[in-house]
């Protein structure tokens, strides 16, 4: 069940150094607070590293950010997954080729022709499809908890 993938983190004063706390404010090398953009990137990195997608900006209609935090995290997770799959491609090319055929039906011909640019485009398309699939699922299920959720495993998304 997808509901089992949601995680609600309690917000206490004592855990304000954790990425999910509203008062989280990491410091730069000079011990100065990070800018809002860098802080959001740090939150996205920390969340992606443990496979958690923050959902608290889904309800923030006042947000003036170009991309919501959950999308930043999903992009980082998808990028990591794409790199993992690219490494796996050399070990099990048949399985990965089948996967890439979903987004680029001519992938076998492109591999045969060593068309690196089009092969990279197929990886990018897969990465974008995965991010979009997970974003849609998170939006549908976000009413269960305003905290965070774990992204679907690749086989659950319909693309990976």
State whether residue 9 is helix, strand or coil.
coil
State whether residue 113 is helix, strand or coil.
coil
pLDDT tens by residue, 59-76? 665 666 678 888 888 888
Predicted structure pTM score: 0.61
Q: Closest Cα to residue 20, out of 62, 59, 48, 60?
A: 48
CB 150 within 8 A of CB 51: yes
Domain segments of the chain: what residues? 2-157
pLDDT tens by residue, 90-114? 677 677 777 777 777 887 887 788 8
Report the alpha-carbon distance of residue 61 to residue 67 in Å, rounded: 12
pLDDT tens by residue, 19-54? 888 889 999 999 999 999 999 999 999 999 988 888
Residue 31: which region, alpha, beta or left (left: phi > 0; alpha: psi -120 to 50)?
left
Report the alpha-carbon distance of residue 113 to residue 107 in Å, rounded: 10
């Amino acid at each position: 069940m997808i509901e089992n993938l949601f995680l609600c983190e309690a917000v206490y004063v004592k855990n304000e150094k954790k990425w999910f706390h509203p008062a989280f404010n990491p410091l730069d090398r000079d011990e100065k607070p990070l800018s809002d953009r860098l802080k959001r990137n740090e939150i996205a990195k920390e969340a992606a590293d443990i496979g958690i997608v923050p959902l608290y900006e889904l309800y923030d209609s006042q947000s003036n950010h170009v991309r919501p935090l959950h999308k930043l995290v999903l992009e980082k997770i998808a990028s990591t997954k794409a790199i993992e799959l690219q490494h796996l491609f050399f070990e099990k090319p048949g399985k990965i080729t089948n996967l890439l055929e979903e987004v680029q039906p001519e992938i076998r011909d492109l591999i045969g022709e060593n068309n690196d640019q089009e092969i990279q485009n197929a990886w990018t398309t897969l990465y974008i499809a995965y991010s979009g699939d997970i974003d849609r699922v998170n939006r549908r299920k976000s009413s269960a908890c305003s905290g965070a959720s774990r992204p679907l495993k690749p086989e659950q998304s319909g693309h990976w």
